[in-house]
Amino acid sequence: MRIQAILSLLSSAHYVQNYFNDTLNVLNHLGSISPYHRARHQHASEINSELPIDCTVDQVMLMHRHGSRGPIGEQRYIERLIQTLHDATDVIQKVELPHEFEFLRAGYNFSLAPHNLTILGRKELFDHGVEFALKYPHLTTDIILSSDSGRVVESARWFALGFFGLDPDVRIVTVNNTDDPVSWITPAPGPACPKFNYSFGQQATRTWSKHYLPVITDRLNMLLPGVGFTGDDIHGALFACAYDLASLGASPWCGVFRPDELVNFEYERDILMDASCAYMLPDNMSPLVGTVFVNKLIERFTDSQGNSRPLYLEFGHDVTILLALSALGLAKDDPPLSPDELRPGRKFQTSELTPFAANMVWEKFTCTSSYDGPQIRLILNDATMPLTICGQGMDPTLGTCSLDTFVNANHYSTSIRFRDETWNATCGV
């Protein structure tokens, strides 16, 4: 009965219609494996995206996720789907197919290499490099810092080509060549925080998928009797939709699913990331680990070490960005998300926070008359994200706050140091 109640809520025509009328593009709702698109943060529409004319951006810190890639753990579901379709070849050729399944007559193949950056992923990064150069023509650097993951290094190279052109003086350095004891870029702390475990996210998604996958499975088996779809096959079709988009820009599988079914899948992807590396992870672990990024940001913008650069270009993963947002308390839902209940109006929506090629841009700017002293702004995926952590100190028009206010508001982060008592107790070191 509980499942029926949930499905009744999700199938609400009013909710689904409003959900997609607001976005115009259902393909922007595939969680952290969505194609890149400009974000629509909550309350961002009330924010003026242009700084006053008397203000100048003096310093920028970019953290960029890699571009669209092939599947990783999801590959096995797609392969399972292909095997099911292969075993049902005779059935598919004989039955009368609904129009959304006509593509199966010719068969369905999937050949995208796991892990690797796609052609569209390369284009995303090149385009972002060009746009960045046009936005900040007065800022430059001679070094780029990257995670040592192959797809991230390649993303940095494509961005550099767009930003610098064929400039031989730009170096790409990976984090394993730095002296920092713990990196603010790499996707997981590893030995630095042994208790940090992605299995929490996997458990959450298994719980939620039990709510919605059986209903889709039954529906598709009624449309294609004899094929024998399983829940794993349905997962494979959903992932095929996303990864076809990542490689080709279109997928026949996306048209197979109803809007409410994609809403369920999107929520699954959100609780995966929330429980893996954000607010659903126990013991305040994600905010703790995210303090490494926040402290690095504050160190650079306050020039506390006396060696700050005007421009930082750094490349990592979706986890990199989500850990930082967790430490800042941004995109946080109250009460927390649950794998037993879909939250339509949630703040934590990874298709907006960390799609492929997500980019978190921190600006420090000064003004001759509009503000006193240096100010700070966060632009996440081409949209200003209000710095609500500053409380009453946030400018409601621009979503910004003074650097001093920002530093004071982040007293939790600035009170934490790698391997201090709080760190060791939380991480089990």
**CATH assignment at residue 148:** 3.40.50.1240
Q: Are residues 175 and 156 in the same domain?
A: yes
Which are the catalytic amino acids? Answer: 66, 318
Residues listed for the chain: 429
Is position 29 within any domain? no
Average the pLDDT over each of 5-19, 85-99, 197-211, 330-344 and give the range with the smallest value: 5-19
Whether the Cβ atoms of residue 312 and residue 141 lie closer than 8 Å to each other: yes
pLDDT greater at residue 290 or residue 198 = 290
92 and 47 together in one domain: no
pTM for the structure as a whole:
0.92
State the Cα–Cα distance between residues 400 and 363, nearest whole angstrom: 10
Do 220 and 105 share a structural domain? yes
Residue 146: inside a domain, yes or no?
A: yes
pLDDT at 178 over 80: no
Domain boundary among 219, 240, 270: 270
27 in a structural domain? no
pLDDT of residue 10: 38
216-240: average pLDDT: 96
In 3-state terms, the chain is what percent helix, strand and coil (to 5)? 50, 10, 35
- Partners of 316 in beta bridges: 65
Distance between CA atoms of residues 311 and 170, nearest Å: 13
Place of tokens 């475990």: 197
Q: Which domain holds residue 63?
A: 36-70+117-196+281-427
**Given this model, what pLDDT does residue 187 score?**
62
Which residues, including other chains, have CB under 8 Å from residue 166's CB and lie 6 or more apart? none
**Number of domains composing the chain:** 2
The rounded distance, in Å, linking the Cα atoms of 53 and 133 is: 20
418 part of a folded domain: yes
SS3 229: coil
pLDDT band of 192, cuts 50, 70, 90? confident
DSSP-H helix ranges across 136-223: 150-164, 199-223
Query: Which residue, 292, 309, 303, is CA-closest to 374?
Result: 303
pLDDT reported for residue 41:
72
Indicate whether 145 and 181 sit together in one domain: yes
Q: How far is the C-alpha of 389 from the C-alpha of 15, rounded, in Å?
A: 30
Q: Classify residue 212 as left (phi > 0), alpha (psi -120 to 50) or beta.
A: alpha
Average pLDDT, the chain: 90
| Position 414 in a domain | yes
In a domain, 226, yes or no: yes
Long-range contacts of 133-137 (CB under 8 A, 24+ apart): 133/162, 133/163, 133/164, 136/57, 136/60, 136/311
Give the pLDDT of residue 180.
67
Are 149 and 289 in a shared domain? yes
Q: Which DSSP category does 369 fall into?
A: S
Cα 317 to its chain centre, rounded Å, is 8
Amino acid 167: pLDDT: 74
Q: Is the pLDDT of residue 11 over 60?
A: no
User: pLDDT per residue over 346-360, tens digit each?
Assistant: 999 999 999 999 999
Three-state DSSP class for residue 32: helix
User: Residue 92 in contact with residue 106, Cβ under 8 Å?
Assistant: no
Residues 80 and 227 in one domain: yes
pLDDT surpasses 70 at 13: no
Residue at which a domain ends, from 217, 241, 270: 270
Residue 241 lies in a domain: yes
One DSSP character per residue, 202-227 reads: HHHHHHHHHHHHHHHHHHHHHHSTTS
Residue 23 above 50 pLDDT?
Answer: no
pLDDT at position 2, please? 36
**Confidence category of residue 290, pLDDT binned at 50, 70, 90:** very high
Locate tokens 């850990």: which residue? Answer: 323
Could you tell me if 242 and 137 lie in one domain? Answer: no
Position 118 pLDDT exceeds 70 = yes
pLDDT over 80 at 423, yes or no: yes
Question: What is the per-residue pLDDT across 85-111, written as a single tens digit (0 to 9) for each?
Answer: 999 999 999 989 999 999 999 999 888
Classify residue 276 by its DSSP letter: H
Distance from the Cα of residue 1 to its chain's centroid = 34
Grouping H, G, I as helix, E, B as strand and the rest as coil, residue 254 is helix
**Distance (Å, whole) CA 241 – CA 119:** 17
Q: Are residues 240 and 314 in the same domain?
A: no
Per-residue model confidence (pLDDT) at position 111: 80
Q: What percent of the chain has a predicted confidence (pLDDT) above 70? A: 92
CA 283 vs CA 292, 295, 346, 412, 414: distances in Å: 17, 20, 22, 15, 19
Tokens encoding 266: 């999107």
Which two tokens mark 350? 């990874």
Q: Residue 232: is its pLDDT beyond 60?
A: yes
Residue 181 is predicted with a pLDDT of 60
Are residues 343 and 373 both part of a single domain? Answer: yes
Answer yes or no: is 23 within a domain: no
Look up tokens 């079709």; give the residue. Answer: 237
Q: How large a percentage of the chain has pLDDT more than 90?
A: 79
Alpha helices in 343-415 (DSSP H): 350-353, 403-409, 411-414
Alpha helices per DSSP H over 55-149:
75-87, 89-94, 119-135
- At 377 the three-state DSSP class reads strand
Q: Does the pLDDT at position 51 exceed 70?
A: yes
Residue 6 is predicted with a pLDDT of 37
Same domain, 221 and 344: no
- Mean pLDDT confidence for 363-374: 97
Strand partners, 401: 376
Evaluated on CA atoms 125, 148, 110, 216, the torsion sign reads negative
pLDDT of residue 179: 65
Question: For residue 176, is pLDDT > 60?
Answer: yes
- Residue 106 CA to residue 359 CA, distance in Å, equals 39
Closest alpha carbon to 125 in 66, 58, 199, 182: 66
Same domain, 80 and 97: yes
Q: Which one of 248, 270, 292 terminates a domain?
A: 270
Same domain, yes or no: 138 and 260:
no
